[in-house]
Amino acid sequence: MTLTITSEVGDARTESPELTSAISAALHVGPNCLRDGDVGRVGLEIEAHGFDPADPMRRPSWAELGDVIADLPPLPGGSRVTVEPGGAVELSGPPIDGAPAAISAMAADRAVLAEAFARAGLGLILLGADPLRPAQRVNPGARYAAMETFFDASQTGAAGAAMMTSTASVQVNLDAGPREGWAERVRLAHALGPTMVAVAANSPLLAGRFSGWRSARQHVWSQLDSARCGPVLGVNGDDPASDWARYALKAPVMLLHTPQIVPVTQWVPFADWADGRVLLGDRRPTEADLDYHLTTLFPPVRPRRWLEIRYLDSVPDAIWPAVVFTLVTLLDDPSAAAVATEATKPVATAWDRAAQLGLGDRRLQQAALRCVTAAAERAPAELAESMQRLVRSVEQGRSPADDFADLAVEHGIAPAVAQLAQGEM
Q: Quick: pLDDT tens for 314-338.
A: 999 999 999 999 999 999 999 999 9
Each residue's pLDDT tens digit, 238-271:
899 999 999 999 999 999 998 899 999 999 999 9
CA atoms within 13 A on the CB side of 356: 6
Distance CA 91, CA 117 (A): 14
197 contacts 311 by C-beta, under 8 angstroms: yes
Angle between helices 22-29 and 240-250 (to 10 degrees): 130
252 contacts 271 by C-beta, under 8 angstroms: no
Distance CA 111, CA 307 (A): 27
- How confident is the model at residue 55, as a pLDDT? 97
Distance CA 311, CA 221 (A): 10
Q: What pTM value is reported for the model?
A: 0.95
In sequence order, the 6+-apart residues with CB closer than 8 A to the CB of 418 are 51, 53, 54, 56
- How confident is the model at residue 15, as a pLDDT? 73
pLDDT over threshold 60, residue 406: yes
In sequence order, the 6+-apart residues with CB closer than 8 A to the CB of 314 are 46, 47, 48, 49, 126, 127, 128, 168, 169, 170, 202, 320
Domain residue extents for the chain = 36-139+146-232+301-422
- The third-level CATH classification (topology) of the domain covering 36-139+146-232+301-422 is Creatine Kinase; Chain A, domain 2 (3.30.590)
Query: 259 vs 194, 244, 292, CA distance in Å?
Result: 39, 26, 12
308 contacts 155 by C-beta, under 8 angstroms: no
pLDDT over threshold 60, residue 2: no
